Amino acid sequence: MKLGFYPGCSLEGSSREYNESVMAVAAGAGIELEPVPDWNCCGATAAHNMNRELGLSLPARILAKAEAAGMKEIVVPCAACYSRLKVTRHELLEDEELRRRISAIIEYDLRCEPEIINVLQFLDSRVMPAIEGRIKSPFDRRVACYYGCLLVRPHKILKFDRLEDPRSMDEIIRRIGGDPIDWAFKTECCGAGLSVSKTELVGRLSGRILEDARIRGAEAVIVACPMCHSNLDLRRGAIEKAMNRKYDMPAIFITQAVGLAMGIDPAKLGLNRHMVPVKFRERPAGKVPAGPESPAAAGEV
């Protein structure tokens, strides 16, 4: 099986491990991901706020390149890239005059044919059926599935999962043997692109996410966005300063969790690239620990 693939800037730069894990999981499931020819930056996260035509033209050119290459579907692992491509496709299909104007700018008569698939849709519909019954090392860990802002918003356009309490990542974790917690911060903002300009704010917002995961007994936070991962991993110092506590809980990509369950070498999944070491405490097989302040730890039902 061959699918179009848009890595975006992050997966070839600061989030190489995400790219490595996506590619390793795809190969393990017998799927070939073909990059969009001569792809460019999609403009995330701020181009559409500064210049609407530029913000639409950048993703439109990616769609045009994919369309010209005959690609019917494009897998887009980065949540910000997914949002920009999906929203642009929607806006151009809804407004014929706008589509003609953007087509003139990119010098291509864009029809917006390729479908845009996020990483959770890719895993659910393509990878999981291919590896059913072939899980070599069940991911027997209690984890917090963190979707962030852009996988489910704007909901009227994306039409993906539930807005406030999405379940698709949780279900993937269950299918590989994990135990996703029920928690309140699935779609809360981590600070997004303010990581450099307002690091202290990112520390507070991301700290609230890690703290809620901690008190509910999570051993790791599972993410599907390079920006979310960067804030939860790279900004751990700012988080610990804001929360006045240390956190050794790693943040890992959903594709890394699936790859571990498939028995793929951790190095091939990029797990050695994280700022916070990806280490899990040893415990008896199948025994899921209760968090220090979780209902289970307190003896509550």
Residue 191 and residue 234 share a domain: yes
Q: What DSSP string describes 149-205?
A: TTTT-SHHHH--S-SSS--HHHHHHHHTT-EEPP-S-TT----GGGTTTTHHHHHHH
Residue 143 and residue 109 share a domain: no
Q: Is there a contact between 67 and 113 (Cβ–Cβ < 8 Å)?
A: yes
Choice between 85 and 47, residue whose per-residue pLDDT is larger: 85
Residues of 99-117 as b/e, b for ≥16 C-beta within 10 angstroms?
A: beebbeebebebebebebb
- Is residue 188 in a domain? yes
Packed helices 79-94 and 226-233: angle between N→C axes, nearest 10 degrees: 150
- Is residue 37 in a domain? yes
Residue 111 and residue 48 share a domain: yes
pLDDT of residue 250: 98
Residue 178 and residue 71 share a domain: no
- Is residue 280 in a domain? no
Q: State the average pLDDT over residues 30-43.
A: 97
Residue 179 and residue 85 share a domain: no
Q: Is there a contact between 150 and 79 (Cβ–Cβ < 8 Å)?
A: yes
Question: What's the pTM?
Answer: 0.92
Lowest mean pLDDT among 45-54, 98-107, 136-145: 45-54
| Domain end point (choices 65, 89, 119) | 119
Q: Is the dihedral of CA 161, 162, 164, 166 positive or negative?
A: negative
- Is residue 52 in a domain? yes
Residue 105 and residue 162 share a domain: no
In 3-state terms the chain splits into helix, strand, coil percentages (rounded to 5) of 45, 10, 45
CATH number, position 241: 3.40.50.11810
Q: Residue 273 half-sphere exposure, CB side, CA atoms within 13 Å?
A: 21
Residue 72: count other Cβ atoms within 10 Å of its Cβ: 11
- Is residue 291 in a domain? no
Residue 140 and residue 115 share a domain: no
Give the structural domain span for 15.
2-119
**Cα–Cα dist 18/11, whole Å:** 6
- Is residue 126 in a domain? no
CATH number, position 103: 1.20.1050.140
pLDDT of residue 180: 98
Judge residue 53's burial from the number of C-beta atoms within 10 Å of its C-beta, 0-12 exposed, 13-18 middle, 19 or more buried: middle
| Domain end point (choices 87, 119, 151) | 119
**Cα–Cα dist 124/161, whole Å:** 12
- Is residue 296 in a domain? no
Residue 92 and residue 178 share a domain: no
**Cα–Cα dist 99/259, whole Å:** 40
Residue 160 and residue 56 share a domain: no
Choice between 133 and 40, residue whose per-residue pLDDT is larger: 40
The residue whose two tokens read 């995961």 is 213
pLDDT of residue 299: 28
Residue 153 and residue 79 share a domain: no
Q: State the average pLDDT over residues 253-268.
A: 98
- Is residue 279 in a domain? no
The total domain count for the chain is 2
> Where does the pLDDT of residue 285 fall: very low under 50, low under 70, confident under 90, or very high at 90 and above?
low
Residue 100 and residue 7 share a domain: yes
User: Mean pLDDT in the chain?
Assistant: 92
| Domain end point (choices 67, 84, 119) | 119
DSSP-assigned beta bridge partners for residue 76:
118
The residue whose two tokens read 């701020």 is 46
DSSP-assigned beta bridge partners for residue 5:
35, 75
The residue whose two tokens read 């390149």 is 65
Residue 159 and residue 104 share a domain: no
pLDDT of 159 > 60? The answer is: yes
pLDDT of 301 > 80? The answer is: no
pLDDT of residue 242: 97
> Where does the pLDDT of residue 292 fall: very low under 50, low under 70, confident under 90, or very high at 90 and above?
very low
